[in-house]
Every structure is written in structure tokens, then in C-alpha cells.
Amino acid sequence: MRRSARLASLAIAAPPLAIVVWLFFLPFLSSAHLSFQREGEWSLRNYYLVWRLYKLDVLYTLGISLVSLMLVVGIAILLCGYLRIVGYRPVEFLFKIPLFVPFVVVGHGMRVLLAPRGTLNSALAQAGLIDLNDPPSIAFTWAGIVVSLVWKNLALAVLLVLGAYRAVDETYLEAARNVGASAFRQIRDILLPMAAPSLVVASAFMFTSMLASFSIPLMIGSGEAPQMLMVDVFYRINYQNDLGTANALGIVSYLLAMGVAGYYLRTITVKS
């Protein structure tokens, strides 16, 4: 490449790179740095605090993400199987809607739907299914977070899984149908194994997004411990102004995300 061309490409690449490095990579490094700082000195106390105060929250975050992921993937495998084999455009369209609904709106929508005095309880009371004097609540519990994460992520899962299913040639399904495979067996024996690599990638993708979810648990989670990790980080900064511990929590969340990323990178490289 000629020298002038190199300079031109550098000039083109530099501004966007500078923004991302300045506002993502430097802060990323500084969170590692600050997580070892306490009152201006190097210290492991932040991590000790994370261990003492937040180890349950880490498990809680992993647990909620895992349960949500299982639900999302389980539903998507069957639903997309139906959409792939039988096909139903209106339902396919319906499941694209959550993709375009911001997380905060999902949080608020679930609040008014699932709160003790929310519209779901109103509707159920109309049907005589619950007692309004002692209304059950899904909002402000772990279940509320799970429902909201499933609602939002199912759209993404349907998009990705259906894409992977569509990449499976129709004749593979016809061959199975031809020897007598029901729709369920076609999903289990043909679509699922053939789409498995994409499914693993999609799962890892969604799992890290669930781990890192912030506005949904902020709005629909309970005000008490345990909390999702991102909410812990936010509260630590906002209410305690404790950058050190917040960053140590951040590092823990990076490690969790990296673990997942590493796992799916390994499955991909093993496969290929």
C-alpha cells in the first residue's frame, strides 16, 4: 500500500477509534485500576467487600440469567420449529416487536402489568382467580425480572434461532417427513442438531446481555438484597459514592462475561 493511502486510511480510522478507545477502553482499564485502589492506595479491600457483601448477588445474577436463558431458548426451539415447519407469518411478526421496545419501556410496562395493583391482577380478579384484598405480586421479585428478560430476549432468540433453522435445507426435513418423522421429531432430530452451533453462539450472546441487564432489574426488581449486579454497581456509585467497590463489582461482571465468551469461542473452535 502506498504511503499516501496509508495516511488516508489512518485519517479515516482515527476519529472513530479515538472515541471508542477514549470512552470505552480507557474507562475499561481504569475500572481495573480503580478496583485495586482504596483511599488513594493499592488495596484488595474492594474485592473483600464484594466477597462479603455481594457473593449472594453474583449467584442471584447468574441464577436469574440462567433461568431466563433456559426459558428463552426452550420456548424459541419449539416455537421456531413450528414457525419453520408449519410457518405462521403473523406470529413471526409479533415476536419481532420486543426487539424494538427499549429496555426501560419493558421495565415500566412490566411494572404496571405485574405490580400487586397492576393490570394483570385486575384481569385475574375479574375472572375470579385471585383475591384483591391480598393480591399476589410478580413485579418486585425475581420472577418479575425473569418475565421481563424473557419477554425482551425471546424476540432476539426467535430471530436468531429461526435464522439458523431456515439455513437448514428443506430437503433434510422432507427426507425425515418421508420416513415418518412428526413435527416434534423433525425439530429434535434434524433442526436442533443442525442448528446447534448457531444456537450456542446465540445463547452466549443472550446470556451476557442478561448478566449485564440494568434498567429492567432497576425498575422491576425488589428494593432489597439480593440484587442483580448492575443494580449493585449503580447503587454503590449513586448512594455510597464508592467507586472502588463499584469497579470491583464491574471486574467481576467482566470476568463472568468473559467466561461465557470463552466457553462459546471454545465450542466454536472445537466444532470447526
* List 48, 51, 88, 184, residue binding other proteins (CB under 8 A): 88
Binding mask 211-250 for other proteins (x = CB under 8 A): xx-xx--xx---------xx--xx--x-----x--xx-xx
Contact 230, 212 (CB under 8 A): yes
Give CA–CA dist 149/151, Å, rounded: 5
**Secondary structure tally for the chain: helices H, strands E:** 13, 2
Strand partners, 41: 38
**142 vs 234, beta carbon nearer other proteins:** 234
* Collapsed DSSP state (helix, strand, coil) of residue 182: coil
Q: Does 156 bind other proteins (CB under 8 A)?
A: yes
Least distance to other proteins, CB of residue 44, Å = 18
Query: Which residues have a Cβ under 8 Å from the Cβ of 83 and sit 6 or more positions away?
Result: 91, 92, 158, 162, 165
Residues 48-67 that bind other proteins (CB under 8 A): none
Least distance to other proteins, CB of residue 10, Å = 8
Q: Does 12 bind other proteins (CB under 8 A)?
A: yes
Residue with grid cell 450456542, as numbered in its chain: 200
Q: Does 261 bind other proteins (CB under 8 A)?
A: yes
Residue with grid cell 414457525, as numbered in its chain: 83
Residues 129-148 that bind other proteins (CB under 8 A): 132-133, 135
Q: Does 47 bind other proteins (CB under 8 A)?
A: no
Least distance to other proteins, CB of residue 218, Å = 8
* List 108, 137, 141, 143, residue binding other proteins (CB under 8 A): 108
Q: Which three cell numbers stand for residue 64?
A: 436469574
**67 vs 201, beta carbon nearer other proteins:** 201
> What are the angstrom distances between the C-alpha of 38 and each of 45, 94, 113, 116, 242?
7, 50, 43, 42, 9
Would you put residue 39 in left (φ > 0), alpha (ψ -120 to 50) or beta?
Answer: left
Residues 162-201 that bind other proteins (CB under 8 A): 163, 169, 171-172, 174-182, 185, 189-190, 193-194
Per CB under 8 A, which region of 38-46, 48-56, 63-71, 91-99 contacts other proteins? 91-99
Give CA–CA dist 132/123, Å, rounded: 11
* List 17, 44, 66, 268, residue binding other proteins (CB under 8 A): 17
Closest CA to 111 of 202, 195, 221, 9: 221
Q: Does 104 bind other proteins (CB under 8 A)?
A: yes
Q: Does 6 bind other proteins (CB under 8 A)?
A: yes
Q: Does 34 bind other proteins (CB under 8 A)?
A: yes
Contact 223, 55 (CB under 8 A): no
